[in-house]
Chain A
Amino acid sequence: MKKILLITLLFSSTLFAKLNVATTYNYLAKITEAIGGDKVKVTCLANPKLDPHFVTPKPSLIGKLRREDLLIINGGQLEIGWLPPLLKSANNAKINVGQPGFLDVSGVIEMMDKPHIVSRAYGGVHPDGNPHFALDIYSVIPIAKLITLKLSIIDGANSATYRANLKVFEEKIEKLTQTLKTQMQSCPNRKVVQYHELFNYTIKSYNIESKGTIEPLPGITPSSKHTMKLINIMKTEGIKTILQDAYHEHKTAGFIADKTGAKVSIVPHDVGSIDGTDTLEDFYTMVAKRLCP
Chain B
Amino acid sequence: MQKTLLSLVAITLLCSAETTEIEQLKTRVDTLEKALKTQKDQALDEKIKNAMGSIGSFTQTDSLPDIAFIANMSALGRNVDNEAYAGYQIPGFTTQPSKQPFNPKRGFNLNYGELEIQSTVDPYFDVTSALHIEKDGLHIGELYVMTRALPYGLRLKTGKFRSEFGRINSHHQHTWNFSNIPLVFESFFGAGGLADEGIQLHYTAPTDTFIQAGFEAMQGSNSRSFGDTDKNTLSIGYLKSSVDITDMTSLLAGASWLHGKSNEGDSDIYGGDLTLKHIFDSYSSLTWQSELLYRDKETTDINQKQAGLYSELTYAHDKNWATGVRYDTLFKNIDNQPDDLNRYTAMLEYRPFVFSKIRLQYTNDRSKWIGGERKDTHEIMLDLTIAAGAHGAHAF
Question: What chain A residues lie within 8 Å of B392 (beta carbons)?
Answer: 84-85
C-alpha gap A221/B320 in the complex (Å):
8
- In the complex, A289 has a CB within 8 A of chain B: no
- In the complex, A57 has a CB within 8 A of chain B: yes
A residues 76-98 near B (Cβ < 8 Å) are: 80-86, 88-93, 96-98
Question: What chain A residues lie within 8 Å of B320 (beta carbons)?
Answer: 221
C-alpha gap A101/B242 in the complex (Å):
26
User: Which among B203-211, B217-225, B363-371 touches the partner chain?
Assistant: B203-211
User: Which among A60-68, A167-175, A231-239 touches the partner chain?
Assistant: A60-68
- In the complex, B244 has a CB within 8 A of chain A: yes
C-alpha gap A85/B206 in the complex (Å):
17
Question: What chain B residues lie within 8 Å of A160 (beta carbons)?
Answer: none
- In the complex, A124 has a CB within 8 A of chain B: yes
- In the complex, B191 has a CB within 8 A of chain A: no
CB pair B252 A59 closer than 8 Å: yes
A residues 34-64 near B (Cβ < 8 Å) are: 47, 50-51, 54, 56-60, 62-64
CB pair A63 B394 closer than 8 Å: no
C-alpha gap A92/B202 in the complex (Å):
12
User: Which among B20-28, B89-97, B147-155 touches the partner chain?
Assistant: B147-155
Partner of B244 from A57, A60, A91 at Cβ < 8 Å: A60
- In the complex, A207 has a CB within 8 A of chain B: no
Task: Tell me the dominant secondary structure on chain A's binding face.
Answer: loop
CB pair B202 A82 closer than 8 Å: no
- In the complex, B212 has a CB within 8 A of chain A: yes
B residues 347-396 near A (Cβ < 8 Å) are: 353-355, 388, 392-396
CB pair A59 B250 closer than 8 Å: yes
C-alpha gap A149/B308 in the complex (Å):
56
Residue of A67, A91, A97 with most partner-chain B CB within 10 A: A91
CB pair B210 A63 closer than 8 Å: yes
Question: What chain B residues lie within 8 Å of A115 (beta carbons)?
Answer: none
For residue B251, which residue of chain A has the nearest CB?
Answer: A59
CB pair A60 B393 closer than 8 Å: no
Whole-angstrom distance between the Cβ of A4 and the nearest chain B Cβ: 15
| A62-B212, A91-B150, A91-B202 known; A54 vs B283 contact (CB < 8 Å) | yes
- In the complex, B240 has a CB within 8 A of chain A: yes
| A10-B206, A51-B283, A66-B204 known; A89 vs B148 contact (CB < 8 Å) | no
- In the complex, A156 has a CB within 8 A of chain B: no
C-alpha gap A249/B281 in the complex (Å):
10
CB pair A14 B396 closer than 8 Å: no
- In the complex, B285 has a CB within 8 A of chain A: yes
Question: What chain A residues lie within 8 Å of B285 (beta carbons)?
Answer: 56
User: Interface code B103-139, partner A: CB below 8 Å = 1, 0 otherwise?
Assistant: 0000000000000000010010010000000000000
Whole-angstrom distance between the Cβ of A223 and the nearest chain B Cβ: 11
| A60-B243, A63-B207 known; A91 vs B153 contact (CB < 8 Å) | yes
C-alpha gap A64/B206 in the complex (Å):
7
Partner of B395 from A57, A98, A248 at Cβ < 8 Å: A57
Question: What chain B residues lie within 8 Å of A123 (beta carbons)?
Answer: 353
Question: What chain B residues lie within 8 Å of A66 (beta carbons)?
Answer: 153, 204-206
B residues 253-303 near A (Cβ < 8 Å) are: 277, 279, 281-283, 285
Question: What chain A residues lie within 8 Å of B355 (beta carbons)?
Answer: 120
CB pair B150 A81 closer than 8 Å: no
For residue A55, which residue of chain B has the nearest CB?
Answer: B282
B residues 74-94 near A (Cβ < 8 Å) are: none
Whole-angstrom distance between the Cβ of B213 and the nearest chain A Cβ: 12
Question: What chain A residues lie within 8 Å of B244 (beta carbons)?
Answer: 58, 60
- In the complex, B319 has a CB within 8 A of chain A: yes
For residue A14, which residue of chain B has the nearest CB?
Answer: B206
CB pair B393 A59 closer than 8 Å: no
Partner of A63 from B146, B204, B277, B396 at Cβ < 8 Å: B204
CB pair B281 A93 closer than 8 Å: no
C-alpha gap A141/B245 in the complex (Å):
37
C-alpha gap A249/B355 in the complex (Å):
21
CB pair B282 A50 closer than 8 Å: yes
Partner of A89 from B149, B283, B395 at Cβ < 8 Å: B395
- In the complex, B46 has a CB within 8 A of chain A: no
Question: What chain A residues lie within 8 Å of B203 (beta carbons)?
Answer: 91
C-alpha gap A83/B151 in the complex (Å):
21
Partner of A91 from B154, B207, B250 at Cβ < 8 Å: B154
CB pair A57 B353 closer than 8 Å: no
CB pair A56 B396 closer than 8 Å: yes
CB pair B281 A90 closer than 8 Å: no
| A47-B247, A124-B354 known; A13 vs B202 contact (CB < 8 Å) | no
Question: What chain A residues lie within 8 Å of B319 (beta carbons)?
Answer: 221
A residues 94-135 near B (Cβ < 8 Å) are: 96-98, 120, 123-124
CB pair B205 A85 closer than 8 Å: no
CB pair B210 A62 closer than 8 Å: yes
CB pair B148 A62 closer than 8 Å: no
CB pair B396 A58 closer than 8 Å: yes
CB pair A63 B393 closer than 8 Å: no
For residue A97, which residue of chain B has the nearest CB?
Answer: B120
The 7 closest A-B pairs by CB, nearest first: A59-B242, A51-B282, A67-B206, A63-B210, A59-B210, A85-B395, A50-B282
Given pairs A62-B204, A85-B393, 11 additional interface contacts (CB within 8 A): A47-B247, A56-B285, A59-B396, A63-B209, A63-B210, A90-B153, A91-B154, A91-B155, A96-B149, A120-B388, A221-B318
CB<8 Å pairs between A and B, sample of 28: A10-B206, A10-B207, A50-B279, A50-B282, A51-B282, A56-B396, A57-B396, A59-B250, A60-B210, A60-B243, A63-B206, A63-B208, A66-B205, A67-B206, A67-B207, A80-B393, A81-B354, A81-B393, A85-B394, A85-B395, A91-B203, A92-B204, A96-B148, A97-B120, A120-B355, A123-B353, A124-B354, A221-B320
